[in-house]
Amino acid sequence: MRAVEVTTRTVLTVVIAIVLSVFSNAKLMAAAHESDGPAQILITNVRVWDGTSETRTDASSVLIEGNLIKRIALGTMNAPGATVINGGGRTLMPGLIDNHTHLMLNGKGLLDIEANLTWEDLAIGGAAMARLYLMEGFTTVRDMGGANRGLTRAIDAGLIIGPRVYPSCAFIGGRGGHADFALYSSIPGGDTQMSRLNLAVTTDGADEVLAAARNNFRQGASQIKIMQTGGVASLFDPWQLNGMTEDEIKAAVQVANDYQSYVGAHSYTKEAILRALNLGVKTIEHGFMFDGDIAKVMKKNGAYITTNLTAFSPLLAEVSALSDPRNQYKLKTAQAAFKGYLDNVREYKPKRGHQTDCVGNAFDCQKQIAYEKYLNGDFFGNHAALVSMTSVGGEIAALSGPVASPYPETRLGVIEEGATADILVVDGNPLEDLSVIGAVDKWFDAPARDGVATIRVIMKDGVIYKNSL
């Protein structure tokens, strides 16, 4: 027995010594690294698409120092001591940005989240969703309802991998509106699963909106999301509903302005969209009845629109969250009313951000992400699609301002000197073929995948998360 005890103590002593030695060496290495300055990575022999231009550069080199793009030059570049990656003539481009995600809404549907899941289910599902988006090339996402700052902290701390997340925290909307996912028997103003976890909150009156918006910023929101109109994937609210009063919208905008941030509005109808824009809302989410009148106000106010293009696919009816016959009827009437959207966007060319808007698990959302990439290019052309996924997304991220933004010193969505080093290296030319960034012309029957083989390098904030070169 004593021999066992002595052996155990000896092993523990050795283990502790090793741990202390590793920790000490790590500290020394970190100190040496600091004294040498930020690490440099040199990516050579790439054709650069900068996030805005109609074409790529000739063969170029890009030097990354720390988390910033330090220098871009045609041809070769001398950078002694830098880690070198040969791009082999591939395209170097900005990391993708999805402006409307729901990482924490990862149940089979909204009712499933409310009635059947625990915080563990949602947290683990959120971690899987975060990894999925990063491996699909999205280095930044804006979560427009459900995610609080905790997911952002976990990613930033390196506990899980994922994109940079701009969270909206809880949806804010009225009783019976698109933020109301409570069971039928719920009491007005009563506690629900969604409200307990600050995924969604129902409010009635400007004072309650003020309280909810302030609480969201307290929980780490980078912007506020209001549910102004009804929706299709919920039961209580007709999509035509104009469900928030002017005073309620003004209250949300006032709080957001006080935090030097902004409000995004889930808004379908023309009347609702114009009301939101005239009251100071900066991003219209979905905006299916967009037209020339709305385009003028958006341009005047410096506003943006993000739209899930799967809304125009006949395959949308097969989504599990829309399986209830009531949802199917809402979908049929909504798609009939939204027929002018695509032509109006092509004509008036608003500032448009890419949106996937997937509610579900990571396996299903992977296929929807790939299909949404395809539809963006199919409807509007590859260049417009890529701009919506990069530089416009960077502009939307910047709207969160210096106070509420989790990343106030970033410059996203572009390949420029001084910009944040969020970078993809992809096979081929995405301006000609969006499949190189993972676009697929199928949805539910598309083959499952873990990442995109033709995205060869994924760098976020100067850190490489994938390199298959």
* Total domains, the chain: 3
Contact 242, 261 (CB under 8 A): no
What angle (nearest 5°) sits at the alpha carbon of residue 74, between those of residues 70 and 78? 60
Q: Does one domain contain both 308 and 416?
A: yes
Domain annotation covers residue 67: yes
- Amino acid 36: pLDDT: 62
Domain annotation covers residue 434: no
Q: Does one domain contain both 140 and 30?
A: no
Domain annotation covers residue 24: yes
- Amino acid 27: pLDDT: 39
Name every residue whose Cβ is closer than 8 Å to that of residue 157 and which is 6 or more positions away in sequence: none
Q: Does one domain contain both 141 and 60?
A: no
The alpha-carbon radius of gyration of the chain (Å, integer) is 24
* pLDDT tens for each residue of the chain, 469 residues long: 434 333 434 333 433 343 333 334 443 334 334 446 789 999 999 999 999 999 999 999 999 999 999 999 999 999 999 999 999 999 999 999 999 999 999 988 777 888 888 899 999 999 999 999 999 999 999 999 999 999 999 999 999 999 999 999 999 999 888 878 877 777 787 788 788 889 999 999 999 999 999 999 999 999 999 999 998 887 778 899 998 999 999 999 999 999 999 999 999 999 999 999 999 999 999 999 999 999 999 999 999 999 999 999 989 888 877 888 888 998 989 999 999 999 999 999 999 999 999 998 999 999 999 999 999 999 999 999 999 999 999 999 999 999 999 999 999 999 999 999 999 999 999 999 999 999 999 999 999 999 999 999 999 999 999 999 9
User: What domain range includes position 462?
Assistant: 40-94+458-467
- Amino acid 52: pLDDT: 98
Q: Does one domain contain both 180 and 264?
A: yes
Q: Does one domain contain both 284 and 160?
A: yes
Q: Does one domain contain both 225 and 153?
A: yes
Q: Does one domain contain both 168 and 215?
A: yes
Structure tokens at 368: 């929807």
Q: Does one domain contain both 360 and 395?
A: yes
Domain annotation covers residue 203: yes
Q: Does one domain contain both 88 and 152?
A: no
Q: Does one domain contain both 263 and 213?
A: yes
Closest C-alpha among 440, 423, 463, 388 to residue 142: 388
d(C-alpha 188, C-alpha 462), whole Å: 48
Amino acid residing at 302: G
Give pTM, 2 decimals: 0.90
Q: Does one domain contain both 32 and 103?
A: no
Domain annotation covers residue 433: no
Domain annotation covers residue 438: no
Element (H, E) at 390: none
The CATH number covering residue 422 comes to 3.20.20.140
d(C-alpha 190, C-alpha 204), whole Å: 12
Q: Does one domain contain both 21 and 155?
A: no
Name every residue whose Cβ is closer than 8 Å to that of residue 365 and which is 6 or more positions away in sequence: 106, 129, 132, 356, 358
Closest C-alpha among 176, 105, 183 to residue 145: 105
Domain annotation covers residue 436: no
Domain annotation covers residue 168: yes
Q: How far is CA 85 from CA 61, 69, 467, in A?
A: 10, 15, 9
d(C-alpha 326, C-alpha 144), whole Å: 25
